[in-house]
Amino acid sequence: MKYTAVNFVSTDIQDWQKDLLIAELADIGFDTFEDAENGFSGYIPSSNLDLQALETLLLGKVVDYHLDYTVADIKEENWNALWESNFNPIIVDGMCYVRATFHESKPEYNYEIIIDPKMSFGTGHHQTTSMMLSYILENEFKDKKVLDMGCGTGILAIFASKKDANTVLAVDYDDICVESVKENSELNNIENIEAMLGSKEVIADKKFNTILANINRNILLDQLSTYAACLEQKGELYISGFYEIEDLPILKAACANNDLTFVSHKTLDKWCAAKFVKE
């Protein structure tokens, strides 16, 4: 798959403004981001790039942040070198070690997850993924039927399986992600994850004990009623991909309207993850 890089440069943009811009870029198809001096780069499948939508999104921001940007195609063979150069192992809560195939194994950790991103989102480095991993680490998954919605690399599905989930369904609208889940499941010697291409329509007739959804606020709001219908009684919903101050109150209200009771939330650099239970 051919990718395009959009390189954003600004001497005035604040961290919270950059985070909001990245979230908005994700809404129009950008799936990978890389920090750079005085800005960052966003990556999108070339076939998904809508320059008019990009320019509309940036309208005003160019003036507010003194933002400049350039667009460049990336040769496919350079993609792996790009993420390998920026992929360092991470450790979640001192117990879960996330690494790539080219990093050494560390069996002293309770859990080890091997991830090969291959152009799909979810290596554990983003704050939202890290918080979701932390929630999985803290909670019970043994013998449960689990859904990982918007699965990306399948990192959350893989961890749920390692926490002894009975079955795991990983769903994403991007076929690259579906293939990535299959490959990463093999890397982790996991056989109980099914990867499906699609969105909320593919889960409408299914039931789960636990749903994991690390997406963004707008998609979560659109899909919450489906999650509620798919959850067994006393089932648990874990969500992330949004901000604590701006988004959590809106999502809590929407969940309450769907008989989903708020339990707790985590924050990391203004990003938020939250747990709900179906009453």
Instruction: List binding-site positions for S-adenosyl-L-methionine.
Output: 129, 150, 172, 214
C-alpha distances in Å from residue 151, one per residue of 52, 54, 96, 168: 28, 25, 19, 11
CA atoms within a 13 Å half-sphere pointing along the CA-CB vector of 212: 33
Task: Tell me 105's DSSP state.
Answer: P
- Rounded CA-CA distance 167/229 in Å is 19
**CB 234: neighbour CB atoms within 10 A?**
9
Place of tokens 């109150």: 249
CA dihedral 94, 242, 209, 182 (to 10 degrees): -70
Q: Compute how many other C-beta atoms are within 10 angstroms of the C-beta atom of residue 174.
A: 20
Q: Tell how strand 231-243 and strand 193-197 pair up.
A: unpaired
Say how many C-beta atoms besides its own lie within 10 A of residue 201's C-beta. 9
129's enclosing H/E stretch is helix 127-138
DSSP-derived 3-state class of residue 246: helix
Task: Name the 3-class secondary structure at 140.
Answer: coil
Question: Could you tell me which residues are annotated as the binding site?
Answer: 129, 150, 172, 214
Sign, CA torsion 26/30/31/34: negative
